[in-house]
Amino acid sequence: MATRRAPRPLVVLAVVACAITSIPLLYLVVRVGSSGLDELTMALGRQRIPQLLGNTVALATAVTISCVALGVPTAFLLTRTRLRATTLWVIVAALPLAIPSYLAAYGWLAAIPTMNGFIAAWFVLTLVCVPYITLPVAAALRVATSGLDDVARTLGYGPVRSFLLGTWPQIRPATLAGSLLVCLYVLSEFGAVALLRYPVLTTAINQAYGSSFNRNYAAILATVLVALAVLVVIAEQSARGRAKRRFTAGSGVVRHSVIRLGRWAPASYSLVAIVPLLAVGMPVGVLFYRLLQAETLRELNVTELLAATANTLALSIGGAVIAVVLALPIGVLAARYSGRIVRVIESVGYLALGLPGIVVGLSLVFFSLAVVPALYQTAIVLAFAYGVLFMPKAIGAIRSSLGQVPTSLEDVSRTLGYSTSQTWWLVTARVARPGILAGALLVAVTAMKELPATLLLRPTGTDTLAVELWSRTSASAYGAAAPYAAVLIVVAAIPAFFLSGARRAATEDTA
């Protein structure tokens, strides 16, 4: 936005945050470096590599497009229309995030066993990824003005055209940030694509660990994923750059009209209901059906369930706090300053998100043993791992919400005699709060269902809900898994609830 030089302390903080999240990339350099040139050429020359690469790109592209197509209208309905029980719908819209993608795939497979290949993977991953668009776009819409739409309407444009001219440029950064998360998520996803038999790079990485015990080959494939992630991040940045040139939000007035649904009500309710129903209702329904059908049931150990719930909450909240602390300097830098260094710092911050959890988990094993061996296999390292893994999820939300705080507001604050830090707390952080909270929510919810890194890094004997779920489904005990899946979703609804609270606060602030 501004072309001022970034203050040095901020750049230093951002560089440190960026270095921390680059641990997985450094690890890959070490691993790929220890494989010979022969191994490298042979790995990349395998007959299946072009197919795996093509499949990976096709899936990531298709899922991103469909998530935008579903997520933007959903966010609009949640924030700009008179839906009944809006708070409930906001929570419901976030729920698919609580479903591990392999569980969604499992649910659909149980119902339709013939599901497989591209269409199946595209369908299931779209369901679980839509909230990555819905949440940041809804956060952006809450602080966006619809005044420009009104201006467009008075100039004779239709409602859709006016939205595209007035509101869309204000939510475009959030849409792009969400798309980036979806795209990187699909690049790194393993569970669902494996079950739905769609071969991509991550399934090949898993085979490299699972049958060849070949860490170097796995690292080479993971590096290909990083290269793809670089392309995706650059594409998002250049798209965002164009958006900035086309439009700058000048008005500090946050005000928007609320639309009555009228005859659009049935279609609107269907849209906000369909994704959560298919993504959450289906797999949970199947698990409970299995629970009723099961002939032998292992007794539900309530103490174990409660302990796993407490562990899950504590670890994911810790992870969210660490992630937001790491993401803030990068997000502020990216929102307020431009230039090559800023772009590089921001891009590198995102890359680890394109890597499958097992690679990131191993890199943190490597790192913590080398640097803080005393903390190895403690909750601290695991929470730190969540922070590193999911920090990029917070960057976009923070950056796009800060981007909507007009610098003129801060200038006013300073002319009134407030210091830079007072201005930050009183003005910037306050206006950007919904976005920062949405970022923390995304991190917490994702951390709750995280499995591969948790299995590698957790303190021995500490179980989370996702671990308990895995432990049961991996032994075909789907019925016994049902209570854990249900509690995971209930627990994940807590951050979703806080998000809706943030929404109310934001509405009051601007009323």
List contacts with another protein (CB under 8 A): 46-48, 51, 109, 113-114, 194-195, 197, 199, 203-204, 206-207, 209-213, 215, 218, 290, 293-296, 298, 358, 362, 365-366, 369, 373, 376-377, 452, 455-456, 460-461, 467, 471-472, 474-480
**Spatial contact of 107 and 279, defined as CB atoms under 8 Å apart:** no
Give whichever of 109 and 427 is closer to another protein, judged by the CB atom: 109
> Which runs of consecutive H residues, i.e. helices, occur in 189-295?
191-195, 201-210, 215-246, 265-276, 282-293
Tokens of 502: 């943030």
Q: Considering the complex, what minimum distance in angstroms separates the CB of residue 468 from another protein?
A: 9
143 token code pair: 């602080």
Residue type at 256 in one-letter notation: H
* Residue 476: CA count within 13 A, CB half-sphere: 3
Phi/psi region, residue 459 (left: phi>0; alpha: psi -120 to 50; beta: rest), is beta
Smallest distance from another protein to CB 389, Å: 16
Distance in Å, CB of 56 to another protein, minimum? 15
User: Is the CB of 211 or the CB of 421 nearer to another protein?
Assistant: 211
CB of 99: closest distance to another protein in angstroms?
A: 19
Shorter beta-carbon distance to another protein: residue 64 or 377 = 377
* DSSP states along 41-70: HHHHT-TTHHHHHHHHHHHHHHHHHHHHHH
Q: How far apart are CA 147 and CA 19, in angstroms?
A: 41
103 versus 444: smaller Cβ distance to another protein = 103
State which residue, 251 or 476, has the beta carbon closest to another protein: 476
**Cα–Cα dist 329/367, whole Å:** 23
Residue 456 CB, nearest approach to another protein (Å): 5
Paired strand residues for 81:
259
Q: Which is nearer to another protein, 267 or 369 (CB)?
A: 369
Minimum CB distance to another protein, residue 117 (Å):
11
CB neighbour class for 497 (10 Å; exposed up to 12, middle 13-18, buried from 19): middle
User: Shortest distance, CB of residue 437 to another protein, whole angstroms?
Assistant: 33
Token pair 């467009």 is at which residue?
A: 152
Whose Cβ is closer to another protein: residue 130's or residue 208's? Answer: 208
